């Protein structure tokens, strides 16, 4: 049985998941919302179906591979712009519609 120090997931609730990351000198707790977890799962599923490396999708979405890896592993949060860029690259992310145009932009076209 694992003790509390070795657990990767501290709290699982409908609101979100807290994850703990530690190295030799510091410990970092990141509060990740359920939507962030679902976005990461969608990206992982897309990568598995396509059979392409993470770096390829990161470049397609206009992201640096290191930042993409941090987001995918839950060490930092996806931004809205990154999620839309991933949707434009073909990833089906729950709640993100790449064809959506906000009402305030519709008049500008």
Q: What's the longest Cα–Cα distance across the chain? A: 59
| 53-to-33, 85, 86, 97 alpha-carbon distances in Å | 25, 17, 14, 24
> Is 71 part of a structural domain of the chain?
yes
pLDDT tops 50 at residue 3:
no
Q: What is the pLDDT of residues 23-78, one digit of tens each?
A: 556 666 666 678 888 899 999 999 999 998 999 999 999 999 999 999 998 888 89
> Is 107 part of a structural domain of the chain?
no
CATH number at residue 48: 1.10.260.40
> Is 10 part of a structural domain of the chain?
yes
Whole domain around residue 76: which residue ranges? 4-92
> Is 104 part of a structural domain of the chain?
no
Angstrom distance (rounded) from CA 12 to CA 10: 7
> Is 50 part of a structural domain of the chain?
yes
- Per the structure, the count of domains in the chain is 1
Predicted TM-score (pTM) of this structure: 0.63
């Amino acid at each position: 049985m694992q003790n509390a120090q070795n657990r990767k997931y501290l709290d699982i609730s409908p609101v979100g998941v807290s994850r703990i990351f530690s190295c030799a000198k510091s410990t970092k707790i990141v509060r990740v919302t359920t939507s962030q977890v679902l976005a990461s799962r969608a990206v992982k599923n897309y990568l598995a179906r396509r059979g392409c490396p993470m770096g390829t999708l990161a470049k397609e979405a206009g992201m640096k591979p290191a930042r993409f890896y941090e987001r995918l592993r839950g060490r930092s949060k996806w931004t809205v712009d990154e999620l839309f860029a991933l949707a434009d690259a073909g990833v089906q992310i729950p709640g993100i519609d790449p064809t959506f145009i906000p009402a305030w932009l519709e008049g500008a076209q």
